Structure 1
Amino acid sequence: MHGTQTLPVGRVRDGALDLLKWLALLSMVLDHLRYVGLSLDGLYVPGRLAFPWFCLAIAANLHRVRHAPVTGEWRYLGWLLLFSVISEVPYRMFIDDADTLNVLPTLALGLLVARGWQHKALVDRGSALIALIVAGVFSTHLMFGFFGVLLPLAMLLVFSRRWYFSVLPGLVCVAANQWQILLNSGTLVAILGLAACLIAPLAGLLLLRHAKHASAPAMHRWAYALYPLHFLLLLWVRKAIG
């Protein structure tokens, strides 16, 4: 890309955004396949794309409706919170040794922080501040921790800046993925996982920019149910091959 180009600032086509969501979902499923009882540790690497791409989808939605009424964003938050509760039991059934909540509470808090930066109303700024406090106090209980909550905002910030600013969400993504543990392990999978975290934001932003004519199936509200259902499906697979 030429140095004078900027990251997407216009209205993102639904096709490109839906393609990003489907790829994020695929990456998540690949990541969780590591827990079905087979030797699939290498899937950790493509699995690192899932969370930053879901965060990018949040940022893209916020950017597209930045001049529209905020009622839709509150509905978005409501669905995230509802399925945060619904998904917790299937999540813990599948991840036996889970030491954090499922990923949806992190995304919900991240949405509040990002929209608080975008909108200047007192209720938006106040809810963002509360979300930051909650993320700071309960960081160890959140998947991807405090930096995971900051990632949607980091994604949103680079939409109106030059392409190389994607290093910012890349570094936030690395920080959210226990980089010290990965770096200390020194394995090829760990190093490639860190690299995937670093480049995931730019890769996702390039997809949104250049896949404008994508015809991926639209993701509607039913897509929220895919999160708890995929845990139940993979649990069945684990029992079937066990």
Structure 2
Amino acid sequence: MHGTVTAPVGGVRDGALDLLKWLALLCMVLDHLRYVGLNLDGLYVPGRLAFPWFCLAIAANLHRVRGTQVSGQWRYLGWLLLFSAISEVPYRMFIDDADTLNVLPTLALGLLVARGWQQKTLVDRGLALIALTLGAVFSTQLMFGFFGVLLPLAMLMVFRRPWYFSLLPGLVCVAANQWQILLNSGTLVALLGLAACLIAPLGGLVLLRQARHMAPPAMRRWAYGLYPLHFLLLLLVRKIIA
């Protein structure tokens, strides 16, 4: 990949962005298949791609509507917050020993932080500061913690940078994924998981640049419902095979 990564603006559908979202969703489902009662620990590795690619999708949406469609960005936040609440019960039903909230609150805070850096208005900067504070204070309650809140911003910052700047969000992604525990584990799966975290931003940025000719099904607002629904479906699978 050469030079910079940009995204189309306006109402034009970005096929590469839709593909990124579908792949992130697939990786998330693969990751959660580890909890259905089968020996599928290796799925931890592709699972590490899901969160950074969702963060990259947030950054890409902000980048492509810079200075326009501000109301659309507020709706984006509203849907994240709504499904954060809707998804919490299915999430805890499926993840029995969950010690954090589901991932959507982290993404919502990350959206506010990245938007505040981009928009630079008093309101946006104030909301970003509040989001940063909440991320720091409630880091242990948030999935991927404080560094997870920073990841959409780190992704947004490299859109106009040469490809090797993707190392920055890669390191933030590693920090968000309990790197000390993974490193101390020393298992092949743990080390491959760390590698996946590091290269996920670069892989996503390459996809956004090279796959614009793709035309996957558009992922619209109905897709928010797939998050709580997939927990319920996997819970059903677990009960069937138990």
TM-score, normalised to structure 1, is 0.97
1:8 pairs with 2:5: yes
Are 1:16 and 1:212, in contact at CA under 8 Å, matched by a contact in 2? Answer: yes
| Cα displacement string for residues 157-200 of structure 1 (whole angstroms, at most 9, x for unaligned residues) | 00011110000000000000000000000000000000000000
Partner of 2:58: 58
| Cα displacement string for residues 48-86 of structure 1 (whole angstroms, at most 9, x for unaligned residues) | 000000000000000000020311110000000000000
Partner of 1:106: 106
TM-score, normalised to structure 2, is 0.97
Partner of 1:235: 235
Are 1:7 and 1:209, in contact at CA under 8 Å, matched by a contact in 2? Answer: no
Matched to 2:60, the amino acid is A
Q: In structure 2, what is the Cα distance between the partners aligned to 1:69 and 1:122?
A: 18
Q: In structure 1, what is the Cα distance between the partners aligned to 2:68 and 2:158?
A: 20
Deviation at 1:7, TM superposition (A): 3.0
1:20 pairs with 2:20: yes
Gaps of 5+ in 2: none
Partner of 2:226: 226
Partner of 1:181: 181
Segments ≥4 residues shifted beyond 2 Å: none
Kindly tell me the number of residue pairs found equivalent between the two proteins.
Answer: 239
Partner of 2:88: 88
- Summarize the alignment of residues 41-56 of structure 1 with structure 2, pairs less than 5 Å apart: 41-56=41-56
Are 2:8 and 2:14, in contact at CA under 8 Å, matched by a contact in 1? Answer: no
Matched to 2:139, the amino acid is S
Partner of 2:37: 37
Q: Relative to structure 2, which stretch is displaced further, 68-77 or 227-236?
A: 68-77
Matched to 1:81, the amino acid is L
Match of 2:201, SS?
Answer: helix
Deviation at 1:10, TM superposition (A): 3.8
Are 2:67 and 2:119, in contact at CA under 8 Å, matched by a contact in 1? Answer: no
Q: In structure 1, what is the Cα distance between the partners aligned to 2:186 and 2:151?
A: 25
Match of 1:231, SS?
Answer: helix
Q: What is the root-mean-square deviation in Å for CA atoms of aligned residues?
A: 0.8
Gaps of 5+ in 1: none
1:72 pairs with 2:72: yes
Match of 1:97, SS?
Answer: coil
- Summarize the alignment of residues 106-185 of structure 1 with structure 2, pairs less than 5 Å apart: 106-185=106-185
